[in-house]
């Protein structure tokens, strides 16, 4: 078929452009573990589609639908911003792979034309390639192996400088025969994984300005949990820049977690009362007990069912087993600690991956560093801590802090 390359190759590429002129480029999203769900799988897919629509709202009109464990993001016209849409889809929880693909007719010649036109630059710059095919439509007249052999053989002749290597190719060309059309694309970009946000319930995360709590929030959102944030401020001991830093961290999380509310709770009076009236070795523990009380109060008003912290076992004195037990003694809600078994190296790696690291290391202190005890208790007894804080007007301090609480809505 391709015996005279100088004549036939330009004609094939012209044919490809003509045949594909009315076919849209689209984005294919490979679904993750939600495909293992049973009778409620549809609810997971519906939530994922709603999340996708929300992320694409300002980028044009897209049609989003799910077929055969793949979600299709199809632009309705040429005004859609496909580059930004593609980048955003890599951060949608519930998706494990993202591909920009060309749709074409379910016909051998159309598939070849699509591969030549759509992957021309990639094929021209590669040294080796192979074709991998998947035939979800079993009515198609070629099976997967035959598709790969046919398309691969003709591509090898269309691009004579690129060799076939089925073991370690520079480029893999993917051909998928599906219900509505055939799709041609290059290698997929890894997605964010996990489950769609909103399928795992609602929780309140304690967000400080450090490395740990943004990563913990990201990890629990990855399990499908919708988050609201709580941040504690202690002016004049903490600055406005420290609060702005936390809002920026929340903003950096929104591409993954979606829109959220950050509750800002004044904490100065509580910390000063603790310093004046409680034993120094218990300062941090009693402070954290107040944080849990206030976070639970926020969660109850918001209808949330759990609290999330960035605690890692043994990382600091307030995160020993006994100290963690003392901290959560004041709440009846589950306390989720996704970082509990991680070390700082792992946390830093994740912070870099999700883009919060550079903001987290900005040198603005938060209230956790105010009035730090010189010799904190690492094996505290819960009864001793209860007695130490009993001199405080706990209910009054909590009520006043909640009355002075403000909030900020953060959107992607």
pLDDT tens-digit series, residues 85-119 = 999 999 999 999 999 999 999 999 999 999 999 99
Question: pLDDT at residue 144 above 50?
Answer: yes
Confidence (pLDDT) at 15: 52
Cα(293)–Cα(299) distance, integer angstroms: 10
What number is the average pLDDT over the span 204-217? 96
Confidence (pLDDT) at 21: 43
H-run or E-run covering 177: strand 171-177
**pLDDT tens digits for 367-388?**
877 788 888 898 999 999 999 9
Tell me the CA end-to-end span of the chain in Å, nearest whole number: 52
Confidence (pLDDT) at 303: 96
Question: pLDDT at residue 18 above 60?
Answer: no
**pLDDT tens digits for 125-141?**
999 999 999 999 998 98
Burial of 355 (0-12, 13-18, 19+ CB in 10 A): middle
**pLDDT tens digits for 317-331?**
889 999 999 999 999
Cα(206)–Cα(305) distance, integer angstroms: 14
Q: pLDDT averaged over the chain? A: 92
Question: pLDDT at residue 346 above 70?
Answer: yes
CA distances from 152 to 56, 156, 173, 178 (A): 35, 6, 9, 19
Confidence (pLDDT) at 134: 93
User: In this structure, is the dihedral angle defined by the CA atoms of residues 373, 245, 249 and 399, taken in order, positive or negative?
Assistant: positive
Question: pLDDT at residue 20 above 50?
Answer: no
> Which 8-state DSSP code applies to residue 368?
G
Confidence (pLDDT) at 68: 85
What number is the average pLDDT over the span 212-222? 98
Residues 224/197, Cβ–Cβ less than 8 Å: yes
Cα(128)–Cα(195) distance, integer angstroms: 36
Confidence (pLDDT) at 3: 44
Question: pLDDT at residue 168 above 80?
Answer: yes
Residues whose CB is less than 8 angstroms from the CB of residue 264 and which lie 6 or more positions away in sequence, other chains included: 231, 233, 243, 405, 406, 407, 408
| Nearest 10 degrees: Cα torsion 38, 41, 43, 47 | 150
Confidence (pLDDT) at 12: 53
CA distances from 246 to 99, 141, 212, 261 (A): 33, 57, 12, 12
Give the DSSP letter string of 118-162.
HSHHHHHH-SEEEEEEEE--TTSSS-HHHHHHHHHHHHHHHSTTS
Residue 23 pLDDT grade (very low, low, confident, very high; cuts 50, 70, 90): low
Confidence (pLDDT) at 10: 55
Confidence (pLDDT) at 1: 43
Question: pLDDT at residue 22 above 50?
Answer: no
> Which 8-state DSSP code applies to residue 281?
G
Please state the three-class secondary structure of 381-408 as a single string. CHHHHHHHHCCCCHHHHHHHHHHCCEEE
Count the helices and strands in the chain (H runs, E runs): 15, 15
What number is the average pLDDT over the span 142-169? 93
pTM across the whole model? 0.89
Q: Measuring CA to CA, which residue among 131, 126, 128 is closest to residue 184?
A: 131
| Nearest 10 degrees: Cα torsion 386, 387, 388, 392 | 80
Confidence (pLDDT) at 370: 79
């Amino acid at each position: 078929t391709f015996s005279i390359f100088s004549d036939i190759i330009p004609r094939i590429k012209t044919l490809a452009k003509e045949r594909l002129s009315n076919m849209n480029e689209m984005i294919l999203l490979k679904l993750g573990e939600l495909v293992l769900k049973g009778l409620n799988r549809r609810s997971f897919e519906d939530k994922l589609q709603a999340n996708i629509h929300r992320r694409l709202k300002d980028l044009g009109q897209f049609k989003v639908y799910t077929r055969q464990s793949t979600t299709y993001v199809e632009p309705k016209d040429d005004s859609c911003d496909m580059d930004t849409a593609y980048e955003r889809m890599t951060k949608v929880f519930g998706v494990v792979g993202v591909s920009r693909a060309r749709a074409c007719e379910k016909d051998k010649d159309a598939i070849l034309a699509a591969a030549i036109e759509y992957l021309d630059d990639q094929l021209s710059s590669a040294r080796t390639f192979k074709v991998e095919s998947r035939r979800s439509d079993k009515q198609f007249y070629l099976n997967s192996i035959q598709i790969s052999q046919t398309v691969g053989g003709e591509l090898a002749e269309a691009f004579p400088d690129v060799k076939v290597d089925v073991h370690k190719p520079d480029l893999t060309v993917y051909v998928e025969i599906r219900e509505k059309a055939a799709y041609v694309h290059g290698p997929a970009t890894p997605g964010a994984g996990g489950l769609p946000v909103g399928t795992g319930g609602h929780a309140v995360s304690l967000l400080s300005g450090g490395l740990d709590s943004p990563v913990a929030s990201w990890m629990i959102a990855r399990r499908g949990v919708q988050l609201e944030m709580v941040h504690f401020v202690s002016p004049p001991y903490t600055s406005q820049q420290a609060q702005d830093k936390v809002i920026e961290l929340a903003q950096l999380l929104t591409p993954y977690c979606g829109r959220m509310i950050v509750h800002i709770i004044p904490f100065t009076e509580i910390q000063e009362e603790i310093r004046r009236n409680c034993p120094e070795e218990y300062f941090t523990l009693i402070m954290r007990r107040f944080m849990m009380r206030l976070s639970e109060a926020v969660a109850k008003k918001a209808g949330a069912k759990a609290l999330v912290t960035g605690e890692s076992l043994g990382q600091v004195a307030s995160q020993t087993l006994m100290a963690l037990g003392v901290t959560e003694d004041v709440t009846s809600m589950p306390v989720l600690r996704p970082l509990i078994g991680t070390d700082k190296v792992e946390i830093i790696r994740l912070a870099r991956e999700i883009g919060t690291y550079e903001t987290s290391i900005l040198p603005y202190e938060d209230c956790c560093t105010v009035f730090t005890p010189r010799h904190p208790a690492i094996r505290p007894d819960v009864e001793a801590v209860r007695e130490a804080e009993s001199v405080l007007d706990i209910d009054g301090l909590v009520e006043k802090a909640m009355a002075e609480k403000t909030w900020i809505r953060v959107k992607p």
